[in-house]
């Protein structure tokens, strides 16, 4: 499985059979270059402009924006309802956490999660191998809450997202705020990472990717 970070909460996840899932595509106002990415499927955690610019995705992808179970060729997908804030959605509405089973690896994309998940939500998410985790605060959980969520979901690999970079136009926390709470990270210097089952052995690792 290959995971490529295109900026913000947008990743291109490619299975060994070349099934391509794009998460939370953004538009040009976010600050990153709009990716020239082609996908077979697109997941949308919520309908805000920085997560739902499906019209800019190349190809003719099937768009999934609902909770429940979906089959995406060789990839199984589940959506779990959560909230975009810590007041039951009263400020920013709902958010869908997507869990993908790719090549025997379970990837969890938290979207714009705005609260600590409940026991019921944690149970619904289930086992997590790779966690795509918002850490920047303001519109999502902040670095402190992100550290708590990391412990609750207990992934083997964490890839932070939705944090302040030079390109981003939003006032978020930098990734270092999260890293100070959880320890050292591996800064790959690359936009993508290949993950196999062998990479899930041993202690938890945090990989900071470069945006494409």
pLDDT digits (tens, 9 = 90+) for 43-95: 999 988 888 899 999 989 999 999 999 999 999 999 999 998 888 888 887 99
Q: Residue 28 in 3-state DSSP?
A: helix
Confidence of residue 142 (pLDDT cuts 50, 70, 90): very high
Cβ atoms of residues 97 and 79 within 8 Å: yes
Share of the chain above pLDDT 70, in %: 100
> Rounded mean pLDDT of 171-200?
95
Cα separation, 170 vs 198, in Å, equals: 37
Report which of 25, 4, 27, 29 is spatially closest to residue 15, judged by C-alpha positions.
4
Q: Residue 194 in 3-state DSSP?
A: strand
Per-residue pLDDT at 89:
82
Cα separation, 7 vs 202, in Å, equals: 28
Partners of 64 in the β-ladder: 43
Confidence of residue 153 (pLDDT cuts 50, 70, 90): very high
Per-residue pLDDT at 3:
98
Share of the chain above pLDDT 90, in %: 86
Superfamily of domain 2-208: Ribonuclease Z/Hydroxyacylglutathione hydrolase-like (3.60.15.10)
Per-residue pLDDT at 80:
98
Per-residue pLDDT at 212:
86
Q: State the DSSP string of 129-152.
A: SEEEEE---SSS--HHHHHHHHHH
Q: Residue 123 in 3-state DSSP?
A: helix
Among all chains, which residue has been given the structure tokens 């020239």?
Answer: 36
Per-residue pLDDT at 64:
97
> Rounded mean pLDDT of 101-126?
97
Higher pLDDT, 68 or 212: 68
């Amino acid at each position: 499985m290959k995971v490529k970070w295109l900026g913000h909460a947008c990743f291109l996840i490619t299975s060994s059979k070349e099934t391509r899932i794009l998460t939370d595509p953004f538009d040009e106002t976010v600050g990153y270059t709009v990716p020239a990415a082609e996908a077979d499927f697109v997941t949308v955690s919520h309908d805000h402009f920085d997560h739902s610019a499906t019209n800019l995705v190349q190809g003719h992808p099937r768009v999934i924006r609902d909770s429940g179970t979906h089959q995406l060729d060789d990839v199984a997908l589940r959506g779990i309802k959560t909230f975009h804030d810590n007041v039951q959605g009263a400020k920013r509405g709902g958010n869908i956490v997507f869990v993908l089973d790719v090549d025997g690896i379970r990837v969890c994309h938290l979207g714009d999660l705005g609260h600590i998940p409940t026991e019921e939500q944690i149970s619904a998410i289930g086992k997590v191998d790779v966690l795509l985790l918002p850490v920047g605060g303001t519109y999502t959980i902040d670095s402190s809450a992100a550290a708590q969520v990391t412990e609750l979901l207990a992934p083997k690999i964490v890839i932070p997202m939705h944090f302040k970079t030079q390109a981003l136009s939003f006032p978020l926390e930098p990734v270092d705020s999260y890293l100070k709470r959880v320890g050292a990270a591996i800064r790959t210097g690359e936009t993508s990472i290949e993950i196999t089952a062998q990479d899930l052995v041993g202690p938890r690792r945090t990989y900071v990717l470069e945006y494409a």
